[in-house]
């Protein structure tokens, strides 16, 4: 192809990244996915609708997860679109919000997501904690599973390869499908360098999860998304997203 030839358009893409637990590497996997999508020709934007745990730095509130997603995105967007609810206390979001007198509501998240989709070809939305984490404990109770349903996009599950991952992965996959969402794929993230029989556990996940494995991320003392991007296989994910969009369009017709 000529260096001056137009770049072929890509189909719009979005996904919701969840994890089998907190601390399984969702942010690293999401940032790696953003880098891989950009390498495939997408203009990318990461989003973390709710983040708890931030510190005042350089004149604004800083959260490491949000910063990593913004660094991995190829489209520059306002911080409020990346993270509509940036909370200070490092605890469950509904508790952090209560500490600050904030209510985590749907409308700002929906508006930010829609704005990102207008600016980027691919939007990767990272959840918080596991798949079913409370976002509000008041009169209007909702959680991260409700958030994924609201966005109505395919789900990518990050499995932290450590003791207990088999049970956590199967239960999370069941919870995703119970909400009517497709599990478009899963990523094995080696978070415990000393885990016994890690390869055998991953093989068991392949046999147990009726979804494609998008890749394995090795254990790293300081994970680097750019270096890991080549380890992810995008084709199954993009195919699953395309099928889901076609089915949704058929139901809406």
Binding site: which residues?
Answer: 23-28, 52, 65, 126-129, 189-190, 220
Contact 214, 158 (CB under 8 A): no
**Listed residue (47, 53, 39, 3) closest to 230, CA to CA:** 39
What are 134's strand-pairing partners? 143
Taking residue 89's Cβ as centre, other Cβ atoms within 10 Å add up to 15
The yes-or-no answer on residue 48 being catalytic is yes
Token pair 């976002």: residue: 135
Please state, in angstroms and rounded to a whole number, the distance separating the CA atoms of residues 233 and 142.
33
**Listed residue (18, 26, 28) closest to 173, CA to CA:** 18
Determine the length of the chain.
253
Residues 6+ apart with CB under 8 A from 217: 25, 28, 29, 32, 187, 188, 189, 190, 223, 228, 231
Pairing verdict, β 122-126 and 44-47:
parallel
Name the catalytic one among 38, 48, 94, 168.
48
User: What are the structure tokens assigned to 69, written together?
Assistant: 């997603």
Which residues are the active-site residues? 48
């Amino acid at each position: 192809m000529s260096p001056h030839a137009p770049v072929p358009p890509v189909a719009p893409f979005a996904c919701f990244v969840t994890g089998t637990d907190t601390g399984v590497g969702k942010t690293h996997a999401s940032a790696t996915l953003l880098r891989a999508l950009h390498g495939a020709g997408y203009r990318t934007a990461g989003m973390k609708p709710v983040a708890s745990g931030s510190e005042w730095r350089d004149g604004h509130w800083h959260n490491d997860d949000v910063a990593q997603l913004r660094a991995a995105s190829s489209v520059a967007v306002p911080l409020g679109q990346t993270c509509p609810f940036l909370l200070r206390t490092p605890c469950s979001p509904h508790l952090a919000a209560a500490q600050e007198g904030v209510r985590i509501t749907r409308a700002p998240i929906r508006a930010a997501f829609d704005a990102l989709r207008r600016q980027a070809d691919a939007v990767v939305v990272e959840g918080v904690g596991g798949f079913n984490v409370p976002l509000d404990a008041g009169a209007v109770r909702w959680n991260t599973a409700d958030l994924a349903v609201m966005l109505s996009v395919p789900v990518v599950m990050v499995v932290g390869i450590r003791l207990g991952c088999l049970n956590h992965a199967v239960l999370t996959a069941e919870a995703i499908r119970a909400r009517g969402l497709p599990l478009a794929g899963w990523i094995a993230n080696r978070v415990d360098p000393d885990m016994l029989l890690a390869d055998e556990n991953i093989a068991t996940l392949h046999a147990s999860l009726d979804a494609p494995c998008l890749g394995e991320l090795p254990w790293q003392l300081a994970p680097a998304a750019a270096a890991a991007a080549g380890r992810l296989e995008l084709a199954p994910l993009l195919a699953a997203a395309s099928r889901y969009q076609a089915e949704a369009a058929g139901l809406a017709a």
